[in-house]
Amino acid sequence: MNRLSLSFIFTLLFLSSVVFAEGAQKNSKYNFVHYKKQSFSLVPWSELNEKVWLDFREWKRELRVKETLANWEKAARDANLVETVGRVIDCVGTCHIYHGLSPTRAQFRSELREGDEVVTKEDSYAWLYMMDGTIVRLSSQSSIALKEIDVGDKEIFLQARMNYGNMLWLSRDKYLFKENDLTETDQIFLPLVYNKANYYRPVGKREDDLMEIIDEDTPALKQYKRLNTLIEENNKLSENGIKKVSHSFLVMPNGTVSGKNFKGEFYVAVGGESYFKKRSFKMYNPDVNEDESPAQFYYRGFDNSKFFDLESDIWYQVSADGREINPYDENQGEFNLYIGEYLSARIPTILLARENLWLEYSGFTYKKMSSAELGANYNYRLWGNFEDDKSDLSLRLQFLKEHTRRVETTQLRVSESYKKKREALGEASFQMNYDEKYYGKAMQVYLLKRNAKDIKAESEDLNSTKKRFWGLVNGRR
């Protein structure tokens, strides 16, 4: 390389630095945001093609674009931003996270980013924590794609696609849970890898403290008391700040469910009918006077923009083409969906983990922050609010309703055409059924532990369950 080429390169570098500095100065007028996980330089050094980057004509083209868009740097940073949707609470068996084509094993605290898909294999289950406090349970052989998280002034918007299988979506509430001493139902996860949420038997009891031992609360009851105490403490943080409402946009192949503070159980079959139920908080505490938020079901069809208002605590059946929705009677229907639903009926330890993770990760859900503070401290963009019809958040939701309906309808048409071709050739089409593959292993563990007093286990208790200090030292936090 001669001296002339070197001088040309250094000149370009100098001009680039000047343009970057001038751009940063101009963008300060537009509430410039530097996101926590982004470098200050917008140059993709690891992927840089030196021939393209040193091309004068390419540089002039980019400069014209930047001069046309006054706030170009903010737009570029927003476009390159990949936000954290959640974390893994626990996985039993084999669970994979797909970010692109490369899968990684899901484990405690694994980061879930926009665009990630979580898949559970045979006899495998997972609990996921969304950054707004929502928790998600995946049954065996299920898949969910976490599309996006958008943080608004007063709301947090989550979009996810229920690809197939059995899933529970449980938004966080301010309400307290009814305390009882019944066995936890999702025993297959206990003890949790998240040691902070587990229950430990008290140590140091003397044999003569008979009355104290008799009057002592059961482990389940103690877990509920710990849970309610922590919820009350966390509610105070929200009252002193600004509690942002969760808005869920949950896509199935044959329909979309949307609503605030949504709680629901889903069974999604590839190429078949889907079933779901909007839950009320009455399942966890019948004494609560819940202020329920409305939720809607959006049909499939290129020109069908209608929606259906959902009622709570009713199972719905959605036709394979997404054009019909009807109440589903479990007693008369083919599937007994209550069995899988029962596994999440009493889960104080999982909920304790949720409240602790909310304190640890989700400060942006109740703290008052500017867009610059939100980006610098938490790596999220601020989207406005749903009260403003012209805000980015409102426009995004309007776009998704139309875009999702058209894309999913196209996929249904293609799938139906492929199915007919297979049938014409005499080939059997794939058929999914709701059966024990989704809940069998978890139900077996629950029944075994519930009757542990009458059943002699083949294996000895683990140190994590019987020795308090072993758990404190070796348990993951």
What is the tens place of the pLDDT at every residue in 108-158? Answer: 999 999 999 999 999 999 999 999 999 999 999 999 999 999 999 999 999
Residues 57 and 189 in one domain: no
State whether 331 and 349 are in the same domain. Answer: yes
**Final residue before a domain boundary, out of 370, 405, 440:** 405
Give me the CATH number covering residue 102. Answer: 2.60.120.1440
Does the pLDDT at position 470 exceed 50? no
Q: Are 125 and 261 in the same domain? A: yes
In three-state secondary structure terms, 220 is helix
433 part of a folded domain = no
The last residue of one of the domains, among 22, 46, 79, is 79
Instruction: State whether 249 and 390 are in the same domain.
Output: yes
| Residue 175 and residue 266 in one domain | yes
- Residues 347 and 247 reside in one and the same domain: yes
Predicted model pTM: 0.83
Q: How many domains does the chain have?
A: 3
More confident residue, 55 or 365: 365
Side chain identity, residue 43: V
| Pair (44, 102) in one structural domain | no
Distance CA 160, CA 143 (A): 11
Mean pLDDT computed over 37-54: 75
Same domain, 102 and 58: no
Share above pLDDT 70 across residues of the chain, in percent, rounded to a whole number = 83
Would you say residue 293 lies in a domain? yes
Residue 413 in any domain: the answer is no
Query: Would you say 196 and 162 are in contact if contact means Cβ atoms under 8 Å apart?
Result: no
**Are 360 and 222 members of one domain?**
yes
- For the segment 15-42, what is each residue's pLDDT rounded down to a tens digit? 444 444 444 444 444 456 878 777 777 7
48 located within any domain:
yes
Residue 425 lies inside a defined structural domain of this protein: no
Both tokens of 158, joined, read 């989550």
**Structural domain of 63:** 3-79
Is 348 a member of any domain?
Answer: yes
Contacts 24+ apart (CB under 8 A), 257-260: 257/295, 257/296, 257/297, 257/298, 257/310, 258/295, 258/296, 258/298, 258/397, 258/401, 259/293, 259/294, 259/295, 259/296, 259/310, 260/155, 260/293, 260/294, 260/295
- The answer to whether residues 26 and 125 belong to one domain is no
270 & 301 share domain: yes
> How far is residue 119's CA from residue 275's CA, in Å, rounded to a whole number?
19
Q: Could you give phi then psi for residue 117, rounded to 5 degrees? A: -115, 135
Given 13, 48, 79, which residue is the final one in a domain? 79
Residues 235 and 181 in one domain: yes
